Amino acid sequence: MDTPVSPQLDSSLNDSVTDGEENHSETSPSPAAPPQVPVVAESPGVTVVQLSDSQTVQVQGVIQAPQTSVIQSPQVQTVQIATVAELEDDESVTDTQKRREILSRRPSYRKILNELSTDSPAVPKIDEEKTEEEVPVSSAASASVPTSIYQTSSGQYIAFTQGRAIQLTSPGAEDLQGAQTLTVASSPTLQPGATILQCAAQPGDSPQQYYIQGGQVLIQERAGRGKGEGERDVPVKEGVKGRRGFFFVLRCFAAVVLDYWKEEMAVTGDETESAATGDIPAYQLRSPNSGLAQSIVMAASPGSMQSPSSQHAEEITRKREVRLMKNREAARECRRKKKEYVKCLENRVAVLENQNKTLIEELKALKDIYCHKAE
């Protein structure tokens, strides 16, 4: 039976083990290792690797805390191999089920790396608040961390942050003086078709509320402090206060919201499932990171009067859209973290390999000295 361990890990094992004078050949390297082998479960010191044919390989000590002595390394880097067939003899379980069982949950990448980093300071922590380096929105203006950033065709950046804030930045505004922070308020008491944006021009400012309805942006002017007391909605005109680009984006957003609500009204319960994948036009904003178009899928369909019976379906659809959007973002973030995690592990393997080589050479030298003295 072959043991197609992940190439990098495999090579690291071989290097580490065979670099010494003694060959501790308990590893069983495979020349035809597949390029990708998912690591499916971990326990301290043991890594279970899922093979393509539903077999698992337990790899012990692939990533270990730095060894203090090279003498220990051969045992640590032993690879133990066991097939699933040996471990499980239940024929009634399907392959998928088996795999599901094997794929037991493990802590998040951040958790794993942070735990590793406490063991070894060489391992960088994944910081929860860490922003992506390539994010064009500078870090100056807001404490909120962008989770996704889009660029409109006019060149403005729209950053959706955790906490559901939307940050708008004009191109070239490195100090983010032109940045706005919006918060989308999703009140269940809102009128259908309406959305509230809260905007603070500066971090310390009290937020200005924008009431978006019918594709129009309204500023809520308050006469009194009471809730709803003395409020009136004033249409926002482009160019007000010299924040032309900002209101352009606001208007775009209003249009999107309008279309979204139109779609909500048109959707019936049965059509809910197809809403996200059907042939509906998508508003695409260019992501500065990937160059790939990120889609905000909100349908533009002929508006119709809202029937009371469809409100529940609309709510379900809206919740589904929100859930899908959140999960989309989460998946993106998860992949980013995973890549970071793998990179860190690879770095660590390289460091440990170097350490191992150095220690082996050191041992060799000491042996030589000792032998010369003994003679």
Kindly tell me which of 107 and 269 has the beta carbon lying closer to DNA.
107
Least distance (Å) between residue 293 CB and DNA: 9
Judged by CB under 7 A, which of 186, 290, 354, 358 binds DNA?
Answer: 290
Judged by CB under 7 A, which of 98, 106, 125, 286 binds DNA?
Answer: 106
Judged by CB under 7 A, which of 59, 297, 344, 345 binds DNA?
Answer: 297
CA dihedral 343, 347, 349, 355 (to 10 degrees): -170
Judged by CB under 7 A, which of 12, 294, 310, 317 binds DNA?
Answer: 294
Residue 292 as a binder of DNA (CB under 7 A): the answer is yes
- Residue 83 CA to residue 54 CA, distance in Å, equals 8
Kindly tell me which of 209 and 294 has the beta carbon lying closer to DNA.
294
Kindly tell me which of 107 and 214 has the beta carbon lying closer to DNA.
107
Q: What share of the chain is helix, strand, coil (3-state, %, to 5)?
A: 35, 20, 45
How crowded is the C-beta side of 315, counted as CA atoms within 13 Å?
A: 11
For 2-36, letters b (16+ CB in 10 Å) and e give ebbbbeebbebbeebbebbeeeeeebebeeebeee
Residue 130 as a binder of DNA (CB under 7 A): the answer is no
DSSP state of 137: S
Judged by CB under 7 A, which of 94, 187, 206, 277 binds DNA?
Answer: 277
Q: Spell out the long-range contacts of 218-224 with Cβ–Cβ below 8 A and sequence spacing 24 or more.
A: none
Least distance (Å) between residue 137 CB and DNA: 17
Least distance (Å) between residue 205 CB and DNA: 26
Candidates 131, 147, 135; CA nearest to 288 is 135
Q: Which residue bears the tokens 């030298």?
A: 365
Residue 339 as a binder of DNA (CB under 7 A): the answer is yes
Number of residues lying near DNA (CB under 7 A): 38
Residue 103 as a binder of DNA (CB under 7 A): the answer is yes
Least distance (Å) between residue 300 CB and DNA: 17
Handedness of CA 288, 291, 293, 294 (dihedral sign): negative
Least distance (Å) between residue 226 CB and DNA: 29
Q: Which residues bind DNA (CB under 7 A)?
A: 35, 38, 40, 50, 96, 99-100, 103-111, 273, 276-277, 290, 292, 294-295, 297, 324-328, 330-335, 337-339
